[in-house]
Structure 1
Amino acid sequence: MDTFSTIGLPGRGSGRTDAWNSLWATQMSRCGFMPVDKGHFDAELRIGVMGPLKLAHLSVDHCSVERSQSDIIKSGSRAYNFLLQAYGTSTFFHCGHQSRLGEGDFVLCNTAMPHYWEADGPSTTIMVRVEPEVLREYLPTPEQFCGLHLGRAIGFADTAGAMVRSLTGQVQSGGSTAQESQVAGYLLETISLSYMMAHADGSKGSAVVWQRHRDIVQHIEAHLRDPDLSPGSIASGLRLTPRYLRTIFSASGERISAYVLRRRLEECARQMRNPAWNGHTLTEIAFSWGFNSAAHFTRSFHDHYGVAPRAYRRLQEVSGDV
């Protein structure tokens, strides 16, 4: 198992973080780590292989991590990660979902889609990385489960978590088995079955409908910052009729325009909670996420969160909730 650490990296403060981001991009996927304490940041990554799986054990100080659309464009990495919260608590934002993770919980991530992870303090996670064609042997439509929470008490998730920890420890100690691919298959089957048990209602329906719905969500997430994003532009971009677009998306129980507004508000609120954005005005944050009217943003934010943006930000600063 290869080990990488911030210890010995050049620079201090933001320089060390930049060096870590560069290292992470070469070993995993291009993204940005943002420590809460900009003057001090420690992290350690241990990587090993178990058959077709890449196991990545990450321990970090209090921080957040974002993989943006620009990171995806610049990086050719395309894979799925089952992220296990091994120590601490965190929140994962992905594909329009917000998953609160406690120890032993999983969340599925598609590295080809933007995502954001926010730790509540020092944290340890273990990522099980698998190529799309391998995962689809066990989970035919993984896209529909991306960003969804899998609690440790659901299905066989607790067993899967124990397997992930055990396999990571075995790889770390240098142990190996001639049946690595078979063991990896058991793990993928266990996690996949647990996901299907946890979200049985969502797994029903036509695979074609799910594929179309996934395409719509991916298009929205990729263009969320575009102020011209609308049902019409989405239909045009995906070469669908507006009526068919509405029919496909209606299965989610939310109108497309409502989904776009909610996601923009969620991203604005996320940045307002993040101390790294304290130097940016509320208008700058809102406009960077596709709003073109400060009044509309303020009104919509109040309707969604029950408090004005300025008061929301002030409450986060007082509570220290990042």
Structure 2
Amino acid sequence: MQSYNSDTLPAATRTSAWNALYSKQLNNVEFTPASNVDFAARLSLGQLGPIQFARMCTNRTNIMRTRKHILPSQQRLYSFLLQASGSSTLSHCGQEAQLTAGDFALCDSSAPHNFTVDDNSIVIMLRIDAKTLKKHLPTPERFCGLHLKNEVGLTATMSAMLERLDRQLEKGFTSTYDERFAQNVLEMLSMSYAIGFDLEPDVSAVLRGRHAEVIRYIEDNLRDPNLSPASIAKGMRISPRYLRTIFASSGEKVSSYVIRRRLEECAKQIRDPNWCGHTLTEIAFGWGFNSASHFTRTFHEHHGVAPREYRRRMMK
């Protein structure tokens, strides 16, 4: 395994140097540690057939991948994130997964994410190209950002096995059976997700895949005040009727999803101390609302309290 340690980087530029190193070895992202002075991170990389193993150890930091980090020419990769120890929160594809030891989440490199890891966090990532993964998990888009808990189905078995495998790779384990073993690992991960989320048999894989595509389109355009079911259908080149069919399986209307996600992002910034200098209207308009009264009313309906009172309680 290749290993990298932030301690070897110049203290004055450690965070920026780590960003460059991580982006070169894995994906373009931006690390924002809770403390630049105390920032410490380690990264180990190994390979098992088509699966790249990456183990990241760090203290509290936020890792963000935005649209500016995603290049059209880059290969699309999926990463299974295994929280080996500590805890973290992944916001991705309209979902939020709060991970503790033994939990999994799936991340798509072609979509933005926000990953906050706590102190003493160890995350093991299994990175696979889209074509290979889809042989085992036909619609991985369906699972991106979802929280696969350790106590569900085969998850605990998989997490224990992958932690052991990661330790063996660190010692230099290689075998002529790497390729076959990797395929079995992917098949077991696929079964873990199928069991863990108990997919509805009446919902076709095609509709699940299209639903994930629509969600990604919405997430990419969530800040656009003109975003609506009609504009989404036009942007996706599908009929409004088919759009309603795609969303029917989720039990939530398209317009309701858009409002809910905007409110969730507004609430996140309202309770973030870094945004305390911004007005509530600035935050709301930044997430696609174009009426302060409409924002206040819908926020109250969703959170049970007005935005101003919500900020006051969160800032105590």
**TM-score interval, normalised by the smaller of the two chains:** over 0.9
Change (3 A) 1:294 1:120: farther
Q: Which amino acid aligns with 2:231?
A: S
Structure 1 equivalent of residue 288 of structure 2: 290
Of the structure 1 ranges 197-206 and 227-236, higher mean CA displacement relative to structure 2 is found in 197-206
Structure 1 equivalent of residue 3 of structure 2: 3
Q: 1:162-215: CA deviations, max 9, x gaps?
A: 121112111111221221112212211111101101112346522222232122
Structure 1 equivalent of residue 189 of structure 2: 191
Determine which of 237, 240, 262 is the counterpart of 1:239.
Answer: 237
SS in 2 for 1:150: coil
If the length of structure 2 is used for normalisation, what is the TM-score?
0.93
SS in 1 for 2:83: strand
- Unaligned runs of 5+ residues in structure 1 are none
Q: Percent identity?
A: 47
Q: Is the 8 A contact 1:157 1:190 kept in 2?
A: no
Q: Distance in 2 between matches of 1:33 and 1:119?
A: 10
SS in 2 for 1:153: coil
Deviation at 1:252, TM superposition (A): 0.9
Q: Which amino acid aligns with 2:302?
A: H
Structure 1 equivalent of residue 79 of structure 2: 81
Structure 2 equivalent of residue 257 of structure 1: 255
Deviation at 1:300, TM superposition (A): 2.0
Q: Is the 8 A contact 1:34 1:276 kept in 2?
A: no
Structure 1 equivalent of residue 102 of structure 2: 104
Q: Is the 8 A contact 1:196 1:203 kept in 2?
A: no
Q: Distance in 1 between matches of 2:272 and 2:21?
A: 24
Q: Distance in 2 between matches of 1:89 and 1:199?
A: 21
Q: Is the 8 A contact 1:83 1:109 kept in 2?
A: yes
Q: Distance in 2 between matches of 1:293 and 1:242?
A: 25
Determine which of 136, 145, 148 is the counterpart of 2:146.
Answer: 148
Structure 2 equivalent of residue 52 of structure 1: 50
Q: Distance in 2 between matches of 1:10 and 1:197?
A: 47
Deviation at 1:77, TM superposition (A): 4.4
Structure 1 equivalent of residue 68 of structure 2: 70
RMSD of equivalent CA atoms: 2.0
Of the structure 1 ranges 119-128 and 306-315, higher mean CA displacement relative to structure 2 is found in 306-315
5 Å-filtered alignment, 1:134-173, equals: 134-173=132-171
Q: Distance in 2 between matches of 1:40 and 1:297?
A: 39
Deviation at 1:66, TM superposition (A): 1.8
Structure 1 equivalent of residue 310 of structure 2: 312
Deviation at 1:132, TM superposition (A): 0.9
Q: Distance in 2 between matches of 1:26 and 1:180?
A: 25
- Unaligned runs of 5+ residues in structure 2 are none
Q: Which amino acid aligns with 2:228?
A: S
Deviation at 1:291, TM superposition (A): 1.9
Deviation at 1:136, TM superposition (A): 1.2
Q: Is the 8 A contact 2:211 2:246 kept in 1?
A: yes
Deviation at 1:37, TM superposition (A): 2.5
Structure 2 equivalent of residue 34 of structure 1: 32
Number of equivalenced pairs: 316
Structure 1 equivalent of residue 93 of structure 2: 95
SS in 2 for 1:30: coil
Deviation at 1:38, TM superposition (A): 4.1
Q: Is the 8 A contact 2:203 2:249 kept in 1?
A: no
Change (3 A) 1:234 1:185: same
